[in-house]
Amino acid sequence: MRLLSLAAALVLSSACALISCGPPIKNTPIPEIASLTTLTDVMDNQATTADPQFKKIGSDKFTDEDFAAFAAAAERLVATGQKTKDFSKGPEFDALALRIKEKAEALGKAAAAKDGAAANTALTEMKATCKECHSKFR
């Protein structure tokens, strides 16, 4: 019985450790994104929004729920992309922030048209832009 309790405690503590490894979950309301005061908060909001959508890259079929999630993500990512430039690290950083905003706008248009191919393209290009920016500025 004691061994079982120890095993359960170990599993629980391991799960908590894994959960805490990722970025903090940030769901700042869209109207409040403009008032964020750190780049970390902006990036955490972007990751919270984009990462679940990136997992859908490569799907050949999206549901109405997927398109609704894309539209909501696009709206938040346009706002965070706009805010990112307030924390400029130079012209290259600003260009990448603008590219995220543009890809988010493309995702929003794809969601409105329920165009799966365009959504895949926007998500793929957005993810590549995130990786490029992180490799250069993180």
- For residue 76, tell me if it sits in a domain: yes
- For residue 56, tell me if it sits in a domain: yes
Here the CATH number for the domain that contains residue 73 is 1.20.120.10
- CA 66/CA 78 separation, integer angstroms: 18
- For residue 63, tell me if it sits in a domain: yes
What's the domain count of the chain? 1
- For residue 19, tell me if it sits in a domain: no
Question: Is there a contact between 85 and 94 (Cβ–Cβ < 8 Å)?
Answer: yes
Specify the pLDDT at position 17.
Answer: 47
* Domain limits for position 46: 24-137
- For residue 6, tell me if it sits in a domain: no
Report mean pLDDT in 10-residue bins for the chain, 138 residues: 55 50 80 96 95 94 96 96 93 94 97 97 97 92
Identify the burial level of 51 via C-beta atoms within 10 angstroms of its C-beta, where 0-12 means exposed, 13-18 middle and 19 or more buried. Answer: middle
In this structure, what token pair is assigned to residue 117? 């191919």
| DSSP H or E stretch at residue 125 | helix 116-137
Specify the pLDDT at position 62.
Answer: 96
- For residue 12, tell me if it sits in a domain: no
Identify the burial level of 84 via C-beta atoms within 10 angstroms of its C-beta, where 0-12 means exposed, 13-18 middle and 19 or more buried. Answer: buried
Backbone angles phi, psi at 69, to 5 degrees: -65, -40
Specify the pLDDT at position 89.
Answer: 94
Specify the pLDDT at position 18.
Answer: 47
